[in-house]
Amino acid sequence: MNRPRPVVALLALALLAGCQRQPRFVPVAADSSAVPVDSFAVAVRTAQQCWDAGEGEEAARLTAHLVLSDLRMRLKDEPRTSWEERARTLLDSLDAGAELASAPCAMVVDLFARSNPEAGSWPWLYWCSGSEILAQPIEGNGMGLLAVASRGLFGAASSAAPQVPEGIAVLYGRRAAGGQQPVLMAWRAARGDRWELAQTLGPDSLGGVGAGEFRAVDDTTIVLTTRTWKATRGFDECATCPHVFVSHRFRWGLAGFERVEDRVRPSPYATFVQLIQAMTAGDRGSALRLVTDGSVLEQARRAEWNLVRGPWRAAPAADETAREMVFFRGATEAWKVRFDRRGEDWLVAGLSPTARAIE
């Protein structure tokens, strides 16, 4: 990415007269990092008027530039200031709604109207370019901000050359019927001190509903891990019901985030689901690996678990990690199922019909 350019796009002081008039931004001299206090106050009032008027996108733009101006002023005197802490302090004083996440030399501020958070959100990216801090709006409107990762970015204090391509990745959370779905967006450096979207991974790749996090393995390797679930065929699963959770791992390589592992997280519930799936598919070998011994599988066969007789579901308030669970099948059946733990795995150890409690 190109290194320091003149400071541009700071606050146009006298032109911030009102939200309904389109504010302009004018260049500031390259050696200037300060904005007069009275002009800053005018910009603050204008941004607040925009939020109050429901002009979310414009209010976010003005607020984002206030954050940028404040960071530049603060870092001139205190180079070690935490971007995220400083931005939180300013935004709290502005009474602006925001979610923040940061990584080395990068920060994302997702702005929204505190009085109406459902109206949408507008994320802005901040990054270091030599001794300067720059900012731009990025994709991700209307989603929650979960985490940020960066690679190959170095501030003015570092003389190290990047060993990997410059990149910034953001993990968002998108609301869905079953809960939050993680969405990954990764950016690469473009000409003109800008970032362009290079990769997007949605629920189909990240696994559905759940959460995720970035982890730095070493100075140049970053891994994304998500823990998610999807609706299971043949099972009726509400948002708060037990689920089969799967861990997905992606390594940030030269071509972007690449899948390295998908692994079902062991639990009694996951074992029961896999047993039913194996039996209905006629896969005796897989079914035997999910029970403590063959007699348990024979019990399940006599109970005709290999037949489809309506959807299965865990009894209300069931704990997916419990050693004993009750499952309903269809409108009338109820089964008490016992589990034994073998290392990290769980096996079905016994089953018996039980009374179906009134729901």
How far is the C-alpha of 126 from the C-alpha of 71, rounded, in Å?
A: 10
Query: Taking a C-beta distance cutoff of 8 angstroms, is the pair 49, 18 a contact?
Result: yes
Q: What is the pLDDT of residue 119?
A: 87
Structure confidence by residue, pLDDT tens digits, 234-272: 999 998 999 999 999 999 999 999 999 999 999 999 999
The whole-model pTM stands at 0.85
Residue 302's φ and ψ, nearest 5 degrees, are -65, -30
Q: What is the pLDDT of residue 18?
A: 53
Residue 316's φ and ψ, nearest 5 degrees, are -55, 145
- pLDDT of 90 over the 70 cut: yes
Map out the domains of the chain with their CATH numbers.
143-265 (no CATH), 268-353 (3.10.450)
Q: In this predicted model, which residue has the larger pLDDT, 210 or 28?
A: 210
- Count CA within 13 A, CB hemisphere, residue 167: 21
Name the burial class of residue 340, with classes exposed (0-12), middle (13-18) and buried (19+) by CB atoms within 10 angstroms of its CB.
Answer: middle
- pLDDT of 25 over the 60 cut: no
3-state secondary structure of 289: coil
- pLDDT of 6 over the 80 cut: no
Q: What percent of the chain has pLDDT over 90?
A: 70
Q: What is the pLDDT of residue 98?
A: 96
* Cross-strand bridge partners of residue 112: 97
Structure confidence by residue, pLDDT tens digits, 139-197: 999 999 999 999 988 754 444 545 788 999 999 999 988 899 999 999 999 988 899 99
Structure confidence by residue, pLDDT tens digits, 104-117: 999 999 999 998 88
The helix (run of H) or strand (run of E) holding residue 137 is strand 132-137
- pLDDT of 24 over the 90 cut: no
How far is the C-alpha of 59 from the C-alpha of 50, rounded, in Å?
A: 5
Average pLDDT over residues 301-311: 96
CB burial string 151-175: b at 16+ within 10 A, e below = bbbbbeeeeeeeeeebbbbbbbbee
Cα 206–Cα 199–Cα 71 angle in degrees, nearest 5: 105
How far is the C-alpha of 228 from the C-alpha of 176, rounded, in Å?
A: 13
Query: Taking a C-beta distance cutoff of 8 angstroms, is the pair 173, 183 a contact?
Result: yes
